[in-house]
A and B are shown apart, each in its own frame.
Chain A
Amino acid sequence: MFRNNYDNDSVTFSPQGRIFQVEYAQEAVKQGSVVVGIVSKTHAVLAAIKRNAEELSSYQKKVIPIDTHYGVALAGLASDARVLSNFMRQQSLSSRLTYDRPILLSDITSRIADRAQTNTQQYGRRPYGVGLLIAGVDARGPHLFEFQPSGVTQEMVACGIGARSQMARTYLERNLDEFEGSSREELIRHALRSLKESLAQDKELTVDNTSLGISGIGEDFKLYEGQDIAEFLETTFENKEQEPAAGGEGMEVDDS
Chain B
Amino acid sequence: MAAMMQSAMPTSEPGYSFSQAPQSVAGGPRQHGFYPYTDNGGTTLGITGSDFAVLAGDTRSTSGYNINSRYAPKLFKIGGTGSANEGARIVLSVVGFAADGNALKERLDTVVKMYKFQHNKEMSVHACAQRLSHILYNKRFFPYYVHAILGGLDENGVGALYSYDPVGSYERETCRSAGAASSLITPFLDNQVNLKNQYDPTSGSGLEKVTKAPQPLSRQTVEELVTDSFTSAAERQIEVGDGLQMFIITKDGIEEKYMELKKD
A and B touch in the complex (CB under 8 A): yes
Which residues of chain B from 71 to 105 have any CB-CB distance to chain A below 8 Å in the complex? 81-83
Number of interface residues of B (CB under 8 A): 8
Across the interface, do A93 and B81 meet the contact criterion of CB distance under 8 Å?
no
Across the interface, do B81 and A68 meet the contact criterion of CB distance under 8 Å?
yes
Most buried by A among B81, B83, B110, B117: B117
Given the complex, which residues of B lie within 8 Å of A68, measured CB to CB?
81-82
Given the complex, which residues of A lie within 8 Å of B81, measured CB to CB?
68, 220
Determine the residue in chain A with the shortest Cβ distance to B118: A86
Separation of A52 and B114 alpha carbons in the complex (Å)? 27
Q: Is chain B's binding surface mostly helix, strand, loop or mixed?
A: helix
Across the interface, do B110 and A93 meet the contact criterion of CB distance under 8 Å?
yes
Across the interface, do A97 and B110 meet the contact criterion of CB distance under 8 Å?
yes
Separation of A69 and B81 alpha carbons in the complex (Å)? 10
Does residue B122 face the partner (Cβ distance < 8 Å to A)?
Answer: no
Does residue A18 face the partner (Cβ distance < 8 Å to B)?
Answer: no
**Distance to closest chain B CB from A108 (angstroms):** 15
The 8 A CB mask of A87-116 against B (1 = contact, 0 = none) is 001000100110010100000000000000
Given the complex, which residues of B lie within 8 Å of A93, measured CB to CB?
110, 113-114
Determine the residue in chain A with the shortest Cβ distance to B84: A68
Determine the residue in chain B with the shortest Cβ distance to A90: B114
**Distance to closest chain A CB from B110 (angstroms):** 6
Across the interface, do A220 and B82 meet the contact criterion of CB distance under 8 Å?
yes
Known A100-B83, A220-B81; contact A89-B110, beta-carbon cutoff 8 A: no
Determine the residue in chain A with the shortest Cβ distance to B107: A97
**Distance to closest chain A CB from B72 (angstroms):** 16
Number of interface residues of A (CB under 8 A): 9
Which residues of chain B from 94 to 136 have any CB-CB distance to chain A below 8 Å in the complex? 106, 110, 113-114, 117
Across the interface, do B83 and A97 meet the contact criterion of CB distance under 8 Å?
no
Across the interface, do B83 and A96 meet the contact criterion of CB distance under 8 Å?
yes
Which residues of chain A from 54 to 86 have any CB-CB distance to chain B below 8 Å in the complex? 68-69
Given the complex, which residues of B lie within 8 Å of A89, measured CB to CB?
114, 117
**Distance to closest chain A CB from B115 (angstroms):** 12
Determine the residue in chain B with the shortest Cβ distance to A96: B83
Across the interface, do B106 and A97 meet the contact criterion of CB distance under 8 Å?
yes
Determine the residue in chain A with the shortest Cβ distance to B80: A68
Separation of A96 and B106 alpha carbons in the complex (Å)? 10
Given the complex, which residues of A lie within 8 Å of B110, measured CB to CB?
93, 97
Separation of A220 and B84 alpha carbons in the complex (Å)? 12
Given the complex, which residues of A lie within 8 Å of B113, measured CB to CB?
93
Given the complex, which residues of B lie within 8 Å of A102, measured CB to CB?
82-83
Separation of A68 and B114 alpha carbons in the complex (Å)? 13
Given the complex, which residues of A lie within 8 Å of B114, measured CB to CB?
89, 93
Separation of A210 and B114 alpha carbons in the complex (Å)? 26
Given the complex, which residues of B lie within 8 Å of A100, measured CB to CB?
83
Determine the residue in chain B with the shortest Cβ distance to A100: B83
Separation of A246 and B87 alpha carbons in the complex (Å)? 40
Separation of A68 and B106 alpha carbons in the complex (Å)? 17
Separation of A93 and B82 alpha carbons in the complex (Å)? 10
**Distance to closest chain A CB from B100 (angstroms):** 16
Given the complex, which residues of B lie within 8 Å of A220, measured CB to CB?
81-82
**Distance to closest chain A CB from B74 (angstroms):** 19
**Distance to closest chain A CB from B253 (angstroms):** 16
**Distance to closest chain B CB from A166 (angstroms):** 34
Separation of A93 and B118 alpha carbons in the complex (Å)? 14
Determine the residue in chain B with the shortest Cβ distance to A66: B117
Most buried by B among A69, A93, A100, A220: A93
**Distance to closest chain B CB from A146 (angstroms):** 23
**Distance to closest chain B CB from A56 (angstroms):** 21
**Distance to closest chain A CB from B120 (angstroms):** 10
**Distance to closest chain A CB from B135 (angstroms):** 15
Separation of A68 and B83 alpha carbons in the complex (Å)? 9
- Chain B residues in the interface with A (C-beta under 8 A): 81-83, 106, 110, 113-114, 117
**Shortest 3 CB-CB contacts between residues of A and residues of B:** A68-B82, A68-B81, A89-B117
Selected A-B contacts with CB under 8 Å, 10 pairs: A68-B81, A69-B82, A89-B114, A89-B117, A93-B110, A93-B113, A93-B114, A96-B83, A97-B110, A102-B83
Q: Knowing that A89-B114, A93-B114, A96-B83 touch, tell me 7 more A-B residue pairs with CB under 8 angstroms.
A: A68-B81, A93-B110, A93-B113, A97-B106, A97-B110, A102-B83, A220-B81
